[in-house]
Amino acid sequence: MPWLLFHLKEDPYEQVNVAHNVVYAAKRKELNDRLKQWIHETGDSFALPEF
């Protein structure tokens, strides 16, 4: 699975990947947008996987 997202307060041992849980869709989009911006600003060639 290309995306990993954990709720560290509820899951400190990172056992449950919530990246594709609809409850966390807004947070996933926020983080993806921030990463996309960073890639653009730094000229990085990292290709983001689709989600």
Distance separating alpha carbons of residues 45 and 40, to the nearest angstrom: 9
Residue type, 36: K
- The pLDDT score that the predictor gives to residue 49 is 80
pLDDT digits (tens, 9 = 90+) for 13-42: 999 999 999 999 999 999 999 999 999 999
- The pLDDT score that the predictor gives to residue 2 is 77
